[in-house]
């Protein structure tokens, strides 16, 4: 898998007064020149929806790491089932391969 290009976790959520005016903010780990931030301006969406969006964005690094681990685990299970060589194990290998492929596509879409 490719190396992370995004700001490392942890990412946090908070209220912010600054260039984004009054907004909900997702902010990340310290960078050489400060933190990164993603603002959701008030007024465009209800606060509940903005906070739900911020929570999803803040969870992105953990979601990506978990998805990478799940894809890797499914590939190991695929190989184990293929090694058994039975019809049933081949069917299980195909299910694992299909899920791993879906996860790998999502990972690629998020990291390229």
Per domain, the residue ranges of the chain are 12-58, 62-111
Distances in Å between the Cα of 60 and the Cα atoms of 5, 82, 89, 93, 97 are 13, 33, 34, 29, 24
Is the pLDDT at 10 greater than 70, yes or no?
Answer: yes
pLDDT for 11-48, tens place per residue? Answer: 777 665 555 554 556 666 665 555 666 666 556 677 78
Q: At what angle do helices 47-58 and 60-84 cross, to 10 degrees?
A: 50
Global pTM?
0.77
Facing residues of 34 across strands? 31
Residues 62-88: what's their mean pLDDT?
97
């Amino acid at each position: 898998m490719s190396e992370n290009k995004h700001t490392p976790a942890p990412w946090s959520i908070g209220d912010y007064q600054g260039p984004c005016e009054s907004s909900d903010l997702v902010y990340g780990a310290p960078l050489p020149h400060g933190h990164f931030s993603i603002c959701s301006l008030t007024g465009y969406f209800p606060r509940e929806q903005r906070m739900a969006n911020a929570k999803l964005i803040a969870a992105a690094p953990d979601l990506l790491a978990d998805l990478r681990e799940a894809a890797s685990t499914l590939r190991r299970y695929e190989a184990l089932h293929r090694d058994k060589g039975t019809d049933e194990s081949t069917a299980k290998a195909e299910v694992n391969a299909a899920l791993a492929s879906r996860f790998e596509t999502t990972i690629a879409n998020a990291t390229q």
